[in-house]
Amino acid sequence: MAQSGSSIEKVRAWVDQAERVVILTGAGISTESGIPDFRGPQGVWTRDPEAEKLSNIHYYMADAEIRKKAWQQRLVHPAWEAQPNAGHAALVGLERRGKLHALITQNIDGLHQKAGSSPERVIEVHGTVTRVVCMRCGWKGPMQETLLRLLTGEDDPPCTLCGGILKSDTISFGQNLVPEVIARAMRCAAEADCFIAVGSSLQVYPIAGAVDEAKSAGARVVIVNAEPTPFDDIADAVISDAIGRTLPLIF
Ligand code: NAD
């Protein structure tokens, strides 16, 4: 606890001195809002390894039964009811102080924007569950409109323009990332003078590489995560306390 206390003081001072703080968030920042992560102790995959199939593009495109299950899960996705927590709010405070250069998020839940972070500062490297995309013609539209079609009896609603397969506008496993979005995230990481990774196991590439990018460009690197990550050794500080308690103390 004393260790965590002194790290918090140190990181707070770094943030005070910094001009361009870049934050990378992962699923861990939203667990306190009731959205489970994938790899934490209560994570979706930790509890049910089969659930990974629903997030895999190859199974999704090939199997209508997988898509029907995925749509049922989207219907009851915790993001619809979830409210931002103290961690999200602290990042809004950081932006109001004029220090937030970019908020890179692996999350698809839209909670940063719901908390009040400016959409133009949020870089959603894995997309968002608040939109749908047609896998054939590329049409995009609001998720809620497609979910209404489920309520009227469709179990695998096709694109109304071309009949293609619809999916949440998220990057599934096995699917290509959007190169411009990743390039922007990496550029911002390299411009940081203080880079803080929050609630990510830092196992998903290429975005985990943003930590190296920031470090080699000279930023102070901080990791706030309950469990160890592969980048703890190169971090200038590691805080393994709860995010909702930690972020309000360092910003
Ligand atoms: P992850 O599941 O791999 O790791 C989350 C980490 O956060 C774990 O190491 C866990 O120990 C830590 N953690 C959880 N709650 C915490 C808390 N309250 N305080 C401190 N630490 C906490 O998450 P990831 O690295 O983001 O990778 C998962 C992938 O799945 C991402 O790419 C993301 O797109 C997606 N995903 C998103 C959401 C979401 O949008 N909320 C939820 C699950 C998964």
| Tens of pLDDT, residues 139-171 | 999 999 999 999 999 999 999 999 999 999 999
Query: Both 21 and 118 in a single domain?
Result: yes
User: Taking Cα atoms as reference points, which of 28, 54, 85 lies closest to residue 229?
Assistant: 28
Residue at a domain's end among 170, 186, 202: 170
Segment 221-248 shows an average pLDDT of 98
**Peptide linkage before 228 cis (omega within 30 of 0):** no
- Do 186 and 73 lie in one domain? The reply is no
Do residue 107 and residue 151 come from a single domain? no
Query: Over 50: is that where the pLDDT of 65 sits?
Result: yes
Q: For the chain, what is the domain count?
A: 2
Choosing from 138, 170, 202, the residue where a domain stops is: 170
Q: Which atom of ligand 1 is nearest to the CA of 170?
A: 34
* Residues 102, 114 within the same domain: yes
Q: How far apart are CA 41 and CA 19, in angstroms?
A: 35
226 CB near ligand 1 (under 6 Å): yes
Which of 170, 198, 232 is the last residue before a domain boundary? 170
* CATH code of residue 54: 3.30.1600.10
Beta carbons within 8 Å of 210's beta carbon, 6+ residues apart = 22, 24, 104, 185, 186, 189, 195
Percentage of the chain with pLDDT > 70?
98
What's this model's pTM, rounded to 2 decimal places?
Answer: 0.93
* pLDDT, mean of residues 33-59: 81
What is the phi/psi pair of residue 214, to 5°?
-65, -45
Instruction: Report CA(26)–ligand 1 centroid distance (Å).
Output: 5
Query: Domain residues for 184?
Result: 1-35+83-126+176-251
Could you tell me the distance, in angstroms and rounded to a whole number, from the CA of residue 199 to the centre of ligand 1? 6
Q: Is the CB of 40 under 6 A from ligand 1?
A: yes
Let me know whether 137 and 76 are in one domain.
yes
CATH number for the domain harbouring residue 2? 3.40.50.1220
Instruction: Determine the Cα–Cα distance for residues 57 and 68; give it in Å rounded to an integer.
Output: 14
Q: Kindly give the distance from the C-alpha atom of residue 37 to the centroid of ligand 1, in angstroms, as a whole number.
A: 4
Does 239 lie in the same domain as 187? yes
Residue 4, pLDDT score: 66
163 in the same domain as 44: yes
Same domain, 250 and 144: no
Catalytic residues: 126
* Cβ-based neighbours of 62, under 8 Å, separated by 6 or more: none
Do 154 and 249 have their domain in common?
no
Average pLDDT of the residues in 87-102: 98
Does residue 2 surpass a pLDDT of 60?
A: no
| Cβ atoms of residues 114 and 41 within 8 Å | no
pLDDT in tens, 15-24: 999 999 999 9
Closest atom, ligand 1, to C-alpha of 39: 2
Neighbours of 53 (CB within 10 A): 15
